[in-house]
Amino acid sequence: MTPRWDLLLTHATLATLDGEQPFGLIKDGALACANGRIAWVGRMSDLPSAASAVRTENLAGKLLTPGLIDCHTHLVFAGNRVREFDMRLNGASYEDIARAGGGIASSVAAVRAASEEELLQQSLPRARALLRDGVTTLEIKSGYGLDLANEGKMLRVARRLGETVGVGVRTTYLAAHALPPEFTDHADGYIDAVIAWLPQLHAAGLVDAVDAFCEGIGFSPAQTRRVFEVARALGIPVKLHADQLSDLGGAALVAEFNGLSADHIEYTRDDGVRAMAAHGTVAVLLPGAFHLLRETKLPPIAQLREHGVAMAVATDCNPGTSPLLSLRQAMQLACTHFRMTPEEALQGTTVHAAKALGLADRGALCTGMRADLVAWNVAHPAELCYWLGGDLAAQVIVAGQPSL
């Protein structure tokens, strides 16, 4: 039977991320989409002669990659924290700002004061900026509401962002992000509340994963474990802000629960890396926060490579420590600060980022995958990490439909 496709892209340089060649590169390649999926991919010389499509487009050598996946964001928030940026440059530390009532607490106040519609309207430009930069799937966390009503509000806005902008969205429940003012000095009581809210929000279809901030200024490993045990009982996957400022064994803890990912991990020791490798937990590296906080402690990149731990890269887009609206810029920072290779960085924002979200249907250019694609105004994938800034995405396609 002669193929009849919805879309056929021809004469492209394909970075399939699914081959033996670096980047899975295919020069002068073609890719076809049907019913929102990749229906055919290969060299132009192998394209079936009788194949046809409703729409055919000659990419004239442009690079075609899978759609980028931003697997760690706090995209839904109100206001900004530019004053704290100034404070840090005048010597205040992350801990100083948090203990003085700034940091997350100021974002909580802003989110609580905003209506759902106001929160949506403030967050839409950020989602659209990431789409323009080639992002077709987003993870969005709660964690600036810190009560049932406002955590629910954030998660509903995250769902609406996906529908409005036309990108895939995975929502993460992060109520164990910080201690709200009404629970001052009662962290265990707040964890009781976090645990009580989770089944309600999950039943409403708002929770794809559960996260926590396991840190000296956040929550202890024992408190984190309590949240994870409830998530496991509900069948919800977990991930963790782990070992960003100190090593409390967070990476090993989330791996113990077969967690999707351990994120930040600057202070993770070798035993934590080994635990991640044993349980298939992805390391999500967040160079935007590393850069803005002027951190000097590098994630254990060599150990991650040695033990075969998949490395993802994300923006960590948030108002306080990573106001980053370009996943491609995060890739560049990962190469510059962490010495990742351009191939590792691209894998980190595609195939490994998909794994960090538990998504097996995207992240590479191969048949059957969701047709999330980006055509770039460059000729080689390393250029995505080479150029500092610039508008490189020529066309963004989500589930076979043009979005940009």
Longest dimension (CA), the chain: 71
When computed from its CA atoms, the radius of gyration of the chain, rounded to whole angstroms, is 21
Task: List, edge to edge, every strand of the sheet that includes 311-313.
Answer: 68-70, 135-141, 168-176, 209-214, 239-242, 261-264, 282-285, 311-313
Name the DSSP class of 78: S
Helices (H) and strands (E) in the chain, counts: 15, 16
pTM: 0.96
**81 is known to lie in a ligand binding site:** yes
Cα–Cα dist 353/283, whole Å: 9
Question: According to the model, what pLDDT value does residue 2 have?
Answer: 67
Q: Name the residue with tokens 């004053």.
A: 83
**74 is known to lie in a ligand binding site:** yes
Question: According to the model, what pLDDT value does residue 1 have?
Answer: 60
Q: 23 near 14, Cβ under 8 Å? A: no
Burial of 94 (0-12, 13-18, 19+ CB in 10 A): buried
At residue 240, φ and ψ (nearest 5 deg) are -155, 135
Question: According to the model, what pLDDT value does residue 97 have?
Answer: 78
**241 is known to lie in a ligand binding site:** yes
- What's the pLDDT tens digit per position in 221-272? 999 999 999 999 999 999 999 999 999 999 999 999 999 999 999 999 999 9
Type and span of the H or E element at 288? helix 287-292
Listed as ranges, residues in the chain with pLDDT below 50 are: none
Torsion sign, CA atoms 147, 324, 247, 90: negative
Q: List the Cα angle 337/340/345 in 5-degree steps.
A: 110
**320 is known to lie in a ligand binding site:** yes
**316 is known to lie in a ligand binding site:** yes
Exposed e or buried b for every residue in 32-59, given b needs 16+ CB within 10 A?
Answer: bbbeebbbbbbeeeebeeebebeeebeb
**337 is known to lie in a ligand binding site:** no
- What's the pLDDT tens digit per position in 23-66? 999 999 999 999 999 999 999 999 998 889 999 999 999 999 99
Which amino acid, residue 222?
A
